Structure 1
Amino acid sequence: MTTTSQRFHQATLLLSSAYPPQRSTYQIIMAPPFTDAHIEPARPRIRVLFGGKFVIDTSQAKLVWEHPYYPYYYFPAEALSTSYLRPAEGPPIVDGEKATFDLVVGDRVAKAAVTKFASGDVKDLVKIEWSAADAWFEEEDQVWVHPRDPYKRVDVRQSSKHIVVKVDDVEVANTHQPRLLFETGLRTRTYIPKTDCRLDLLQPSQLTTECPRLPSTGVANYYSIHLPNGDELAKDAVWWYRSPLPECATIQGYVAFYDEKVDVWVDGVKQPK
């Protein structure tokens, strides 16, 4: 008889082979709660909107950690009508472990957006690629980027620490009123009022991102740091959120510097990069 541990190991191997580990620019400073692939029930009702229809509407979703950083939604196969599925081009089965389908609603097609698993603890579950859908909902709230990890939290705190930021000995920020963002497992990020920064040295970048670890912050905009003569000191080294979601609303109008790209002093002590 196959033990729970063995099945869990099989699921780990299946997930790791189907989705190889992703490189992350985030420094993990403590171990995540799970050392292997982890699966558990998702409590909210989950709906997935595509092509004007809710192709998924279920209270039986699963949270699946393919890697330590954040979970994905998987669904019972019966939660997704086969009328929305079309075999994807190419071999539909890989080693008997999974099949790939296009998601189809009327004239809308998302190629290879659906994967159905055929073995391990994810047997008979399906996954929809997040970016393929038009919108995701937990109960009545729209969810961005990926599901929230129930084992991680984010807190923003007002601080009076003295923060100085320099690049190549050029001071670009100096404040006594930072806001510190604490997230489980990651280094503290310091947000500084724009009025305490050398805005003349911050040049808007075309880069925008959505943080995979921190969906509650919304879309990030970036600055590069330039000298008055136009020489670039640090590309895309500063980010800010135009409209952070309510959980992180207090960082609106503040900027954060990549500690890895600048020199930072906290109360006179230089911080390691």
Structure 2
Amino acid sequence: MGLAWQQGPLATRAVGHFLVEQPLPERLLFAEPLRRRMRVRFGGEWVADSEDVVLLHEPGRYPVAYFPVADVREDVLVAGNRTTTHRELGPAEWFTVRVAGHEAPRAAWRHTGLPGHADVLRDRVAFAWRAMDAFYEEDERIVGHAADPYHRIDLAALTPVEGETFCPYKGLAGYFDIGPGKRAAWSYPEAWPEVERVSGFVSFEPDLVDVTLDGRKLALEPGQTVTPHGIDRGLDPGELRSPVPGGN
């Protein structure tokens, strides 16, 4: 979850609450310095470059980066005749972003009548995410949508366990426990050359752990369950690693 969306503390559907005597406003906005260099690219050129960016967190939205006007190229913002009103921040003036041969109408805005408590956004410009070619933090491009520094991604804790098996098509497989799920995941550290692209990837047993893809919970499909018959002749992983008898 992020700070101000999904079920974050500033979201309208927060799962927790602040321990204060008086009820808080229905909507809370939160502004903070990014503390990293951010740049905006449009039409093959850099249109903004700053180490003094302020992130605005607003309920139900991804964070919005506000750049000091001084850190935006002087010739790229073209004032239009569009003004909107933000429910907490007041009127906003909109701009067309223009560079040689490229133009994006209503692609940037600046708040022109900020209340005193929001003065941190004064003389700052924000750029519409989808209207620009790319946003960068330091030298890393931000892809998909604006990054929320409070968004957490939990990775399954994989605990390696003893014991290996082999597959005639892929090679030696090692196994992992995931919490109470025993041998719930497996991986081929060094798959056969024909399928070496799967080396180092991890697979999960959907009947032992919940596996979701794009919001859909996966389950074993008919025909995916195979009844093992054991390892022929007591073959062990060590024999697979041994040189081929008589080989060169």
TM-score (norm 1): 0.48
Matched, 1:139 2:124: no
CA apart distance, 1:153: 0.9
CA-to-aligned-CA distance 1:209-266 (integer Å, 9 cap, x gap): xxxxxxxxxxxxxxxxxxxxxxxxxxxxxxxxxxxxxxxxxxxxxxxxxxxxxxxxxx
CA-to-aligned-CA distance 1:136-155 (integer Å, 9 cap, x gap): 11111110233322223111
Partner of 1:66: 58
| Residues 157 and 180 in structure 1, CA contact (< 8 A), matched pair in contact too | no
- Give me the whole-angstrom Cα distance separating, in 2, the residues matched to 1:73 and 1:32: 26
Kindly provide the amino acid, as one letter, of the partner of residue 59 in structure 1: E
Runs of 4+ residues over 3 Å off in structure 1: 21-24, 26-29, 31-35, 90-96, 158-162, 177-181, 189-192, 197-200
Equivalent of 1:30 in 7, 11, 15: 15
TM-score (norm 2): 0.52
Equivalent of 1:109 in 100, 103, 117: 103
Matched, 1:76 2:68: yes
SS in structure 2 at match of 1:82: coil
Q: Unaligned regions of 5+ residues in structure 2, if any?
A: 19-23, 158-177, 183-204, 225-248
CA-to-aligned-CA distance 1:171-229 (integer Å, 9 cap, x gap): xx962143589xxxxxxx7864x7x24699xxxxxxxxxxxxxxxxxxxxxxxxxxxxx
CA apart distance, 1:39: 0.5
- Give me the whole-angstrom Cα distance separating, in 1, the residues matched to 2:137 and 2:100: 25
| Residues 40 and 136 in structure 2, CA contact (< 8 A), matched pair in contact too | yes
Bigger helix share: 1
Matched, 1:128 2:141: no
- Distance change in 2, residues 1:190/1:63 (3 Å): same
- Give me the whole-angstrom Cα distance separating, in 2, the residues matched to 1:106 and 1:32: 50
Partner of 1:178: 210
CA apart distance, 1:93: 7.2
CA apart distance, 1:108: 0.5
Kindly provide the amino acid, as one letter, of the partner of residue 127 in structure 2: I
Partner of 1:51: 43
| Residues 71 and 146 in structure 1, CA contact (< 8 A), matched pair in contact too | no
Task: Considering Cα pairs closer than 8 Å and 6+ residues apart, tell me whether 1 or 2 has the greater RCO.
Answer: 1
| Residues 67 and 126 in structure 2, CA contact (< 8 A), matched pair in contact too | yes
- Give me the whole-angstrom Cα distance separating, in 1, the residues matched to 2:107 and 2:70: 17
- Give me the whole-angstrom Cα distance separating, in 1, the residues matched to 2:13 and 2:84: 35
Kindly provide the amino acid, as one letter, of the partner of residue 37 in structure 1: L
| Residues 72 and 146 in structure 1, CA contact (< 8 A), matched pair in contact too | no
CA apart distance, 1:22: 9.7
- Give me the whole-angstrom Cα distance separating, in 1, the residues matched to 2:17 and 2:69: 29
Kindly provide the amino acid, as one letter, of the partner of residue 125 in structure 2: V
- Distance change in 2, residues 1:147/1:198 (3 Å): farther
Partner of 1:97: 91
- Give me the whole-angstrom Cα distance separating, in 2, the residues matched to 1:57 and 1:136: 10
CA apart distance, 1:109: 0.6
| Residues 41 and 47 in structure 2, CA contact (< 8 A), matched pair in contact too | yes
| Residues 156 and 179 in structure 1, CA contact (< 8 A), matched pair in contact too | no
| Residues 100 and 115 in structure 1, CA contact (< 8 A), matched pair in contact too | yes
- Distance change in 2, residues 1:72/1:110 (3 Å): same
- Distance change in 2, residues 1:179/1:23 (3 Å): closer
- Give me the whole-angstrom Cα distance separating, in 2, the residues matched to 1:176 and 1:111: 51
Q: Unaligned regions of 5+ residues in structure 1, if any?
A: 1-20, 163-172, 182-188, 201-273
Partner of 1:149: 148
Report the structure number with the largest CA radius of gyration: 2
- Give me the whole-angstrom Cα distance separating, in 2, the residues matched to 1:191 and 1:42: 36
| Residues 178 and 190 in structure 1, CA contact (< 8 A), matched pair in contact too | no
Partner of 2:197: none
